[in-house]
Amino acid sequence: MERHTRIRPLVLTWLALLALLAISAGTSWLQLGWINTAIGLAVATVKVVLVGLVFMRLRMSHPLLRLTALAGLTTLALLFILSGADYATRSAVQAPWQHPSTVAPRLGR
């Protein structure tokens, strides 16, 4: 298999990853509500794509390897959807055991 990796893309990816880290670390101090989480996850996704494409070489690898990576993500997404459907369609019933601080005996106090 002919593999042509050069050092330059690796260095650029590393610098990009550190810049992205600075972005997520910096923006977390701005009060943006749910957008903070959105930025954090978006930056993490970009970082993971960079690591996957360049460091893990998915950019120039055989399609079967990309499919395998995708199959893992798809399975995880399916399991999230199926489990999430359960939690999303039931209302949480506040039972006493959910608040140990309100139930005797009070442990560790």
Partner 1 sequence: MSTVEQPHAEQFTSREQQSFAGTFGMWVFIASELLFFGPLLFGYLYLRVHYPEASAAASRHTDYLLGTANTAVLLTSSFLMALAGHAAESGKRPRAMRMLWAVAALGLVFLVLKGWEYHKDFQEHLFPGPHFRPEQDGRLQQLPGMQLFFILYFVLTGLHAVHLTIGILVCLAMAWRLRRPPPVGVSADAIEYAGLYWHFVDVVWIFLYPLLYLVGRAGG
Residues that bind partner 1 (CB under 8 A): 1-3, 5, 7, 10-11, 13-14, 17-18, 21, 24-25, 28-33, 36-37, 40-41, 43-44, 47-48, 51-52, 54-56, 61-62, 64-65, 68-69, 71-73, 75-76, 79-80, 83-84, 87, 92, 98-99, 101, 107-108
CB of 27 to partner 1, least distance (A): 9
Tokens 């978006």 correspond to 42
State the Cα torsion 85-86-90-91 to the nearest 10°. Answer: -90
CB of 45 to partner 1, least distance (A): 9
- Spatial CA neighbour of 25 closest among 8, 10, 39: 39
Tokens 């996957």 correspond to 52
CB of 81 to partner 1, least distance (A): 10
Tokens 């995708």 correspond to 70
DSSP class of residue 70 equals H
CB of 104 to partner 1, least distance (A): 14
User: Which one-letter amino acid corresponds to residue 13?
Assistant: T
Nearer to partner 1, 99 or 104 (CB): 99
